[in-house]
Amino acid sequence: MKADTKNAGIDMLNGSLLDKIIMFALPLAASSVLQQLFNSIDMAVVGHFAGKEALAAVGSNSSVISLVVTLFVGVSVGANYVIANYIGGKDRQGIKRAVATTAGVSVVSGILLLFLGIGLARPILEGIDTPADVIDLSTLYLQLYFAGVPFIMVFNFGSAILRGMGDTKRPLYCLMFSGAVNAVLNVILVVGFGMGVAGVGIATLVANAINAAIVIYILQHERNPFRLVFARVAFHQKELMTMLKIGIPAGVQGMVFAVANVTIQSSINSFGSSAMSGSAAALNYEHFCYFIIAAFSSAAVTFMGQNMAAGKKERCRRIFFHSMWLCVVCCGFFNAFFTWQETFFTGIFNSEPEVHRFAYIRMELVLLPQFIASSYEVASGALRGLGYSSLPAALTVVGTCVLRLCWVHFVIPSHHVFQWLMVVYPISWVVTGIMVLVAYYVVCRKKGIY
């Protein structure tokens, strides 16, 4: 068993930790950035060749997409934990059952989201007061996006299997190829054929299909016990229940985040299409930096899961410390870099001064202090690696999501200023970080880690 897992990815149970956490997290962050680039390239192309309304239509959908997709993406965190735990315990049969169950969940969740997303696209957009000059294009892009969601689920759950064994490089290579395809198709369909929003939606769908096909091929040719065999795909109760126990709280946390962000998006919409476009442009760089945070959080889940199962508590202490400081430094660097060069980076998406003005506000008030979110995200990942998922989810919902909802409903009506809307983000990160870090320390004392 040891030889199989060691050759398949990173040996998380022995030797140094700092370099291995970096080797795990950076390709994962790069993979997430490439996925986000699908949307960013869509926005850049339509922003320059199809107008401000098309840019707003594509860019303002990210919070809606998160609302519908995040629950199942959270369940993939549970799959990551289950596989990592079995590796730490050297349970080959458990790994086989986990792979089979993960494959089944990916197919069912993808089909469910396909119908939910297409059917609810316009009602959701109407519910968040999407302006009349944008809603038809927004609906078209959202429906095309959800037509490709089954492919996204297959790729995310397949990547979770690979992450569990410490392999974050092959999903990155897969995304590099499909990202190039997406960019080429954007130019052909939008610039060459003038298809606008429909063109970028089709390009993204094709790129996601390529991702799914490649990750399936990788898993079918993986060594045992990680090999995907279609005939063995099934729902094994023990693995499914553990996956859901860890994954559903993470998914619900993400969904509540998305609800709060959809509510904030509704407030952004009230400032008009320039605010929507500027906010959407700045949001891209927040996504890029958040993926750094999410990568180190995922590293904490996987490394902690394996080492705790192997009884290596001293390594768990070092895993948290390295994951946290690396996350703060890496995220903080890019927060500062994008904000420093804000004129160049917002200009990629649109050239209108009013769009730039709103983008600058968001970058300086939200993007620059975003590294603060490392505090609760890495601590949450560490807690999930220890088998505690509901606790960080509940604290994050209260400290971040509830606070944001209250801010939008009680503060913004009397202070209808874009700056007042944006400042809720850093406030919520500080509050949530304090709560989750305290919870992590208490759990670690209980587990005998400290």
Tens-digit pLDDT profile for residues 345-358: 888 877 788 888 99
Hey, how many other C-beta atoms are within 10 angstroms of the C-beta on 436?
Answer: 26
Structure-token pair, residue 135: 């809603």
What pLDDT tens digit does each residue of the chain (450 aa) get?
A: 343 444 446 888 889 999 999 988 988 888 777 766 766 677 777 766 666 677 776 766 666 676 666 666 677 778 878 888 888 888 989 989 999 998 998 888 889 889 988 888 888 788 877 777 778 888 888 888 889 989 988 988 888 888 877 788 888 888 888 888 888 898 898 888 888 788 888 988 998 899 899 999 999 998 888 899 888 888 999 999 988 888 888 777 777 777 777 788 888 888 887 888 888 888 889 988 988 998 899 899 889 988 998 889 999 999 999 999 999 999 999 999 999 998 898 888 777 888 889 999 999 999 999 999 999 999 999 999 898 988 998 999 898 888 998 998 899 888 889 999 999 999 999 999 999 999 999 999 998 888
Terminal-to-terminal C-alpha distance of the chain: 30
Residue with tokens 């700045």: 282
Ramachandran region, residue 323 (left: φ > 0; alpha: ψ -120 to 50; beta: rest)? alpha
Q: Using omega within 30 degrees of 0 as the cis cutoff, is the peptide bond preceding 225 cis?
A: yes
Burial of 417 (0-12, 13-18, 19+ CB in 10 A): exposed
**pTM of the predicted model as reported, rounded to 2 decimal places:** 0.74
Answer for the pair 227, 72: CB distance below 8 angstroms, yes or no: no
What residue type is 341 in one-letter code? Q
Hey, how many other C-beta atoms are within 10 angstroms of the C-beta on 132?
Answer: 6
Alpha helices in 341-423 (DSSP H): 342-347, 353-362, 374-385, 390-396, 403-406, 418-422
